[in-house]
Amino acid sequence: MLVPTPQGREARTTQGRQARAPQRGTVTTPATTAATAEQPADVVARLRAAFRAGRTKPVAWRTDQLRRLRALLTDQGAELAAALHADLGKSSAEAYRTEIDFTVREIDHTLEHLDGWLSPEAAPVPAHLGADARAWTLVEPLGVVLVIAPWNYPAQLLLAPLVGALAAGNAVVVKPSELAPATSAVLARLLPAHLDTGAVAVVEGGVPETTALLAERFDHIFYTGNGAVGRVVMRAAAEHLTPVTLELGGKSPAFVDRDVDLAVVADRLARGKFLNAGQTCVAPDYVLTDPGTAAALEPLLKHAVETLYGADPQSSDAYGRIVNERHFDRLSGLLGSGRVVVGGDGDRADKYIAPTVLADVDPKSPVMQEEIFGPILPIVTVEDLDEAIGFVNDRDKPLALYVFTESDDTRDRIAAETSSGGLGLGLPLAHLTVSDLPFGGVGESGMGSYHGRYSIETFSHRKAVLEKPLS
């Protein structure tokens, strides 16, 4: 695989400026590769006509689209990586690992299993219908679906749902995040150049453009982002009785038990937390542990940060940047919520906030009120497992819950007595890389799930069929 050389900071700034003028609310067509103004209503009508005509239904069309998307990622991954660097300071290695190769794996897994996932499934028939009756389910595409993506993994979180929507045989409108403008511009150029524009459209833009799209009738809306906008999406969907998948966020706790190898825990926590400068929906939001373990963990977390990013993380190519000044200011305001163990500083001009660990954090402090979504890891102390479980259950259901323990009892109790989108035992983030696991939230962290066969379930209707012979 071709891995591009990481761009320097200067290159990133220049690229970012160049890329910051996407054509808003327009659809790019391959015929001209120029943006042509097409209203959302016209886009949806055009795609709906294509769906009705059966364009997206043949499995051969679906697999062809997936292979074309795969080719885009492998042949032009370097362009995407450069855009991700421009938007978020992502290193090339991180861009490939968490966005480009991630999506390629999702495509490969889907191509390998799609026939099986689409197969009709027989259902047992009750005796009162007679021995000659048969029942089964058929997996059918929904129609025209809308995918709205956020800025933090702006390629992966647009393309992985697109993989599922195409594999399920739908026409698709994708709306990249305007807060990752370089990535949005590259996707708006490359997707129409590779995919069937008769059934796949890219609409760029922010709130006005998304609001206009949401006024249209879709057959499913797949939204990833924050819960406030999730509510906007769900209200708009209700007008048309359109089902939604909401992939939201929240504060994902990491419980650390006594008597575990804290050096391993610190290393895994630091890797999971500071990836993408903490702007990961399933990043460990805060650590929950007893006071003795907290004291022992502090120097190990400091050591882990220094091992990952050196004494000066600002000069490390491996460390990302905060997406914009608004989020920089929000995060800066949280740095005073506890005693600084490591980090604690920032540079607004560079949108840099140091990987930071805060100790002695009061649960009532600002950093504990909302999802942090940045490189700040507070340590909150509890006396024991009962108090930890109570702490989690007193708050919104998280997208992920992480547990570091050697005790089966502790594992079982947390699994049984708490609710979260996913449960990571010993390793943050990794559950979402398992294509055979559903990825999604519960309660405030979202509804519905995707990846692998769960994407097919999300973007399909399972039609019940009963047959009773006439003679």
Out of 94, 106, 204, 247, which one is annotated catalytic? 247
- For ligand NAD, the binding residues in 274-313 under the rule CB under 6 A are 281
Q: Which two tokens stand for residue 280?
A: 């990961």
d(Cα 455, Cα 163) in Å, to the nearest integer? Answer: 8
Q: Which of 214, 146, 154, 211 is nearest to 178 (CA)?
A: 154
C-alpha–C-alpha distance, residues 81 and 451, integer Å: 22
* Site for ligand NAD contains 224 (CB under 6 A): yes
Smallest distance, Å, CB 440 to ligand NAD? 7
Q: Where are the alpha helices (DSSP H) in 20-172?
A: 40-52, 59-75, 77-88, 92-95, 101-118, 156-167
Does 225 bind ligand NAD (CB under 6 A)? Our answer is: yes
177 binds ligand NAD (CB under 6 A): yes
> Cα–Cα distances in Å, from 35 out to 28, 84, 148, 164, 446?
4, 22, 20, 26, 34
188 touching ligand NAD, by CB under 6 A: no
Answer for which of 226, 332, 419, 433 binds ligand NAD (CB under 6 A) is 226
Our CB check for ligand NAD shows the closer of 207 and 466 to be 207
Compute the least distance from the CB of residue 309 to ligand NAD, in Å: 23
Tell me if residue 247 is catalytic: yes
121 is catalytic: no
Q: Output the CA–CA distances (angstroms, integers) from residue 224 to 21, 78, 246, in the order listed.
A: 23, 25, 6
Give yes or no for a contact between 428 and 402, defined as CB atoms under 8 angstroms apart. Answer: yes
Query: Which of 179, 199, 265, 389 is in the footprint of ligand NAD by CB under 6 A?
Result: 179
* 206 binds ligand NAD, rule: CB under 6 A: yes
Q: Using the rule CB under 6 A, is 178 a contact of ligand NAD?
A: yes
- We find the least distance from the C-beta atom of residue 250 to ligand NAD, in angstroms, to be 7
- Determine the size of the site formed for ligand NAD (CB under 6 A): 28
With beta carbons less than 8 A apart as the criterion, state whether 100 and 153 touch: no
Task: For residues 154 and 82, give the distance between their C-alpha atoms in angstroms, rounded to a whole number.
Answer: 13
Measured from the CB of residue 358, what is the shortest distance to ligand NAD in angstroms? 20
Residue found under tokens 């364009």: 55
Q: CB of 399: closest distance to ligand NAD in angstroms?
A: 5
Minimum separation from the CB atom of position 152 to ligand NAD (A): 5
Q: Which one of residues 446, 447, 448, 459 is an interface residue with ligand NAD (CB under 6 A)?
A: 446
C-beta of 73 vs 399, nearer to ligand NAD: 399
Residue of this chain nearest to ligand NAD (CB atom): 249
* Interface pattern 125-164 for ligand NAD (x via CB under 6 A): -----------------------xxxxx----x-------
Burial class (CB in 10 A: 0-12, 13-18, 19+), 115: exposed
Residue 398 per-residue DSSP state: P
Nearer to ligand NAD among residue 207 and residue 464 (C-beta):
207
Q: Is 22 in the site for ligand NAD (CB under 6 A)?
A: no
| Contact of 400 with 425, CB cutoff 8 Å | no
Q: Where are the alpha helices (DSSP H) in 254-336?
A: 262-274, 291-309, 325-332
User: Choosing from 99, 106, 204, 281, which is the catalytic residue?
Assistant: 281
Side by side, which strands form the sheet with 422-425?
339-342, 356-359, 376-381, 286-289, 253-256, 400-404, 422-425
Q: Which residues bind ligand NAD (CB under 6 A)?
A: 148-152, 157, 175, 177-179, 206-207, 210-211, 224-226, 229, 232, 247-249, 281, 371, 373, 399, 441, 446
Catalytic residues: 247, 281
